[in-house]
Structure 1
């Protein structure tokens, strides 16, 4: 049994005429009749009562017609999915992002644009640190990642990156802190005596190292009070008076009460965001996603 036989049978069953079915299918009548007969032989059942003038469905034929239509419908849908996937219109794409990325206005805009322009595609969003993303790209458990590179980041040879935008680093202070009323940018040296709450060094985003470098240039080594893996947790600990922090300015959008954000007067107090994906990944859907992201580079806020 093959799909051609199913199509032939459905045409005859709907037309109740071998000649009309042959015209509809643009085939000659003898091969059509032979294929329907072969189908009946394989099934071991008579599907059509026929004489020289009339064709009618048997009880078995009526039941089989319903199943044949369903099978052909599934085949057509499967063929359409394959066609869309080959054109980058369907399939699944796994997108990783660091914690602060959704706070940038460009990220939800990119995701919304991609989903609306590719309704047949599925976008799975996965929260990962920079280090986790690089490993996941290597073992092919994600397709693309939004990550914050370390200061000396050099992508592996098989990883392609796209510069997206740069965030300013800001000081996060308890609202009652003596420096909270200062409206002008703060010198890094003003933080020398403060307890710091930072991301762990091992996350791979480079913020820990960047703060250490900025502090070293200002002539001090930060006093590390607490580490936390989530930016919102760091902001919450600052609000609780556990210390201060230096974070990308996107965290100002968290809306956590009890903290203020103040600029640093250091020009290189910045944090980059990159898009990363495998160079050898030729999946059409990935290329479509990159095409959606590219015009948004540099438009985070």
Structure 2
């Protein structure tokens, strides 16, 4: 028995006329009659009473009609679910993101837009360092990553969403905060203690700070380490040193702290969207396309 046999039977049962049922199904009447007879033979029961003047359901036919309709409805539902899942409209999407991502306008706006466009997709958002995101992608624990630049392992590919300047985080009463509204060169920080992420934390910003300092002729002295940007800003406010963060953190208004843009040409950072090269998840593809559009707009 095939689904088409059920559809043929339901059409005849609803029309109670082989000619109209055949027209509704888009087939000729003789094959329809043959298929109904084959169905009855397979079931070992008569479903329809036929005379020259009328077609009527038998008691078995009435019972079978209810079940056939349910089977066809469930089949149609399964087809629609499969098609929606293929379009990325259903299922689950696991996204690893670095802690600085929510402070950019693009990422929160993209997540909101995705939830509006795909309400049936469950988003599992996992905060971790950029290096941990890359590892999670390779281990297939997440499908998409949002990170700061770092050396990517083989098997991963990136899309640069946007770039932004780096800023120095200073206490408001720090001597460098005065008269530097237009910006500061990295060289001006040579004698300053730094509050920064530990190297083991796996953020690309650590290596970038080292590179910028070396180009300016010094090695930064890390006086205090912290794993969260908000903690770093708070420790700067406490007078433990200065720091360097992406400009999007200027949205964090902390009493006693000011931000000054770094003027060095290389003092910029980016936000990358990262995925496995052979990632075929429809949900991931839908998210990537949406975020890319949001970044361009």
- 2:248 alignment counterpart: 250
* Aligned counterpart for 2:269 among listed residues 271, 277, 280: 271
Contact 2:223 2:240 in 1 (8 A): no
Does structure 1 retain, via aligned residues, the 8 Å contact 2:210–2:220?
A: yes
Which deviates more, 49-58 or 167-176?
49-58
Q: Where does structure 2 lack aligned partners over 5 or more consecutive residues? A: none
CA contact (8 A) 2:129 2:202 kept: yes
Aligned residue number for residue 13 of structure 2: 13
Match of 1:166 among 163, 168, 171: 163
2:196·2:222 contact (CA, 8 Å) conserved in 1?
no
Aligned to 2:225: 226
Q: CA RMSD in A?
A: 3.6
Q: What is the alpha-carbon distance in structure 1 between the residues aligned to residue 238 and residue 66 of structure 2?
A: 67
Deviations 1:167-211 (A, max 9, x none): 211122344545444433234454455443322213433212222
- Whether the 8 Å CA contact 1:96–1:128 is kept in 2: the answer is yes
Shift of 1:21: 1.8
Q: 1:296 to 1:218 in 2, by over 3 A?
A: farther
Against the structure 1 CA distance between its residues 233 and 67, is the aligned structure 2 distance closer, same or farther, given a 3 Å change threshold? Answer: farther
Question: Cα–Cα, structure 1 residues 238 and 298, in superposed 2: closer, same or farther, change >3 Å?
Answer: farther
Provide the residue aligned with 2:258 in structure 1: 260
Q: How does 1:178-257 map to 2 (within 5 A)?
A: 178-184=175-181, 185-192=183-190, 194-216=192-214, 217-228=216-227, 230-257=228-255
Q: Which residue of 1 aligns with 2:127?
A: 127
CA distance in 1 between counterparts of 2:56 and 2:171 reads: 84
1:95-114 maps to which residues of 2 (within 5 A)? Answer: 95-112=95-112
- Work out whether residues 131 and 202 of structure 1, in 8 Å CA contact, stay in contact via their aligned partners in 2: no
**Contact 1:212/1:222 (8 A) holds in 2:** no
Quote how far apart the aligned CAs of 1:62 are: 4.4
Q: Which TM-score applies when normalising by structure 1?
A: 0.76
- Quote the Cα distance in structure 2 between the aligned partners of 1:198 and 1:60: 78
Give a deviation string over 1:90-139, Cα, whole Å, max 9, x none.
45554432222232223344445556666776665443322122223223
Matches of 2:238 and 2:45 in 1, distance apart?
79
SS of the equivalent of 2:65 reads helix
Q: 1:223 to 1:136 in 2, by over 3 A?
A: closer
Counterparts of 2:238 and 2:37, CA distance in 1: 81
Aligned ranges 1:82-93 → 2 under 5 Å = 82-83=82-83, 88=87, 90=89, 93=93
1:146 to 2:146 alignment: yes
Inter-partner Cα distance in structure 2 for 1:149 and 1:50: 74
